[in-house]
Amino acid sequence: MRVVLIDYGAGNLPSVAKALAAAGVAVERSADPARAAAADALVLPGQGHFGQVMEAFRRSGFEDVVRAHVAADRPFLGICVGLQLLVEGSEEAPGVAGLGVLPGRVVRFPEAGVSVPHMGWNTLHPFGASPLLAGVADGAHAYFAHSYVVRFDAADAEAAAFDAGATTTYGPTRFLCAVSRGQLHATQFHPEKSQRVGLRILANFAAAARAAVGRPA
């Protein structure tokens, strides 16, 4: 199975590559959209300002590749801003469109009794039967580092928009921090910084991808 880590200049790329390897995932880091187009599974990391990251991603030539891959329901994992890029846009960069493959927009955390950015460990509360979160206990901790959060467009996002995922709460804000829809998976937290829980999640993604494409590691 070919897993490609998309290299469009994201700052957290080396740590994601190292964590995938530690989780037993044979991953190819590539800046070539043609290599990504031939992959069985794609991993899209992201870190930084939404507008700058989105513009770098578009200049890299990966946009059409990712759109086609997701539309075909092939295994995909977005991490942090890699999740945020999948929705329609962000308050952080008005006028810069996201990919729009998931329903929602990125908004800034309300500064009500909490410090922003949301940085450090927080609990995960899985729901549904996401293969990404198999074996991850309710209340397990993952590492977060973000000032903006996705507000998904659904009256009951957990039931209506996604097969499964996880929620967490920061201050007054309860939000989806992991989502799964078919073979598309994405996390707001950083699996590559989340120690054993993160390695379990990355290994789960690889196992689910292998099952989906019917190929060995």
Q: Tell me which residues are annotated as active site.
A: 80, 190, 192
Q: Which residues pair with 181 in a beta bridge?
A: 184
Give the integer Cα–Cα distance in Å for 185 and 178: 7
Q: What are the φ and ψ backbone dihedral angles of 157, each rounded to 5 degrees?
A: -60, -35
Among all chains, which residue has been given the structure tokens 């990391």?
Answer: 45
Give the integer Cα–Cα distance in Å for 196 and 140: 10
Any idea what the Cα angle at residue 63 is, between residues 59 and 64, rounded to 5°? 125
Give the integer Cα–Cα distance in Å for 130 and 141: 17
